[in-house]
Structure 1
Amino acid sequence: MPSITTTAGDLFVMRRGTAGPSLICIHGAGGSARHWGLLLEPLAAVAQVYAVDLPGHGRSPRINEVSITTYTQVIAALHTALALPPAIVVGHSMGGAIALQLAIEQPQLVAGLGLVSSAARLRVAPALLAGLAGDAQSRHEAMTMLVTWLFSPYADPALRAEAADEYATLAPTVLLADLQACDGFDVRSRLAAIRCPALVVTGSEDRLTPPKLGAELATGLGVAHQILDGVGHMPMREAPERLGQLLSTFVATFA
């Protein structure tokens, strides 16, 4: 399933699994469906998995407007194009914001939420936004800062090198637009409207969405907060087995 035509444009989608509940995976700012790569096969054992490249990311063409609202409309359009029943929507960081907004605005599409390294309010460091909006040197420094913050001190250095290479190929305007969208996101007052089951997972060493924010999100949703010890903002890369087990156990409750 390389490309799906939707009312919001064409989207590249990686599909795995032939049975079980439908599971849509949404990556974070500047990411792509590849970020879920190590989890696709384990999750395919319990679900029909659809990992999407958001517009302007990976192999999906860009769109004119970037916002959490627009991305939410894109996921809703994908859901319709695939003719899915209510799906479990799993989002990482910005992807979690998209999942939350979808559950608030179109709850009939969402059976459950998997929120990884995310929060109900996603503030972004001003230095990061300013750097990405600056000249080439400033952008390079901001990218270096971001890659450093993505992983825990215990992460394999190869993961940082891989992330640095990945972000180096990304148009700075795409990442900046994503982070600006995150910075304006705040649904803390609307969490009570979400009625579906949810899983909230945060790495203990996450510097971008620290455990305090994950705990606030879990409390707002009335669910337990799952902490991955010794893990940073990218648990799908740092601790795929532990995250995969949490997600698989959660998904299995929908069978």
Structure 2
Amino acid sequence: MVPAGVRYVQDMLHSDAHFTNYCSYAMALGRHRIYDRLPEIKAPALIVTGTPDFVTPARCSYDLAARLGGCTELFDDVGGSHYYIFEEPHKLAAKVASFLDRVAPVQLSP
């Protein structure tokens, strides 16, 4: 399996169009300001991070979890990276299912 950092760079440099799109996304993210409005968001949120994530540092996820106004759960897998969904899909699916069971349990009719 290709390491996550190598895969990221390969994706970004796949073509000139890919690189241009990545740069455009990064610039748009840099202009986007929502931090002050996060407490207004009351929806339950599962925030997943990996301590060694080099794209979105785990600190950003911790700040997000602390700032959101609704029920939040932070899951930090110390071995996960930005590509956690590919690295540990079964572990992530179990975490999502557990979270949904707590915040939106399914009511089965008799």
User: TM-score range, shorter-chain basis?
Assistant: 0.7 to 0.9
Q: Which stretches of structure 1, 4 residues or more, deviate above 6 A after TM superposition?
A: none
1:46-73, Cα deviation, whole Å (9 max, x unpaired): xxxxxxxxxxxxxxxxxxxxxxxxxxxx
1:175 shift after superposition = 1.4
Q: What residue number does 2:54 align with? A: 207
Q: Which stretches in structure 1 are left out of the alignment for 5+ residues?
A: 1-155
1:237 shift after superposition = 1.5
Of structures 1 and 2, the one with the larger relative CO (CA 8 A, separation 6+) is: 2
Distance 1:251 1:224 in 2: 11
SS in 1 for 2:97: helix
1:184 shift after superposition = 1.5
Instruction: Select the structure that is richer in strand.
Output: 1
Structure 1 residues 212 and 224 mapped into 2: Cα distance closer, same or farther (>3 Å)? same
Structure 1 residues 194 and 166 mapped into 2: Cα distance closer, same or farther (>3 Å)? same
Q: What residue number does 1:247 align with? A: 96
2:56/2:82 contact within 8 Å kept: yes
- The answer to whether 1:228 aligns with 2:81 is no
Q: What residue number does 2:2 align with? A: 157
Structure 1 residues 173 and 198 mapped into 2: Cα distance closer, same or farther (>3 Å)? same
1:209 shift after superposition = 1.6
Q: What residue number does 1:27 align with? A: none
Instruction: Select the structure that is richer in helix.
Output: 2
Amino acid across the alignment from 2:81? G
1:231 shift after superposition = 1.1
Q: How many residues align?
A: 100
1:205 shift after superposition = 0.7
Paired-residue identity, %? 25
SS in 1 for 2:46: strand
Q: What residue number does 1:189 align with? A: 36
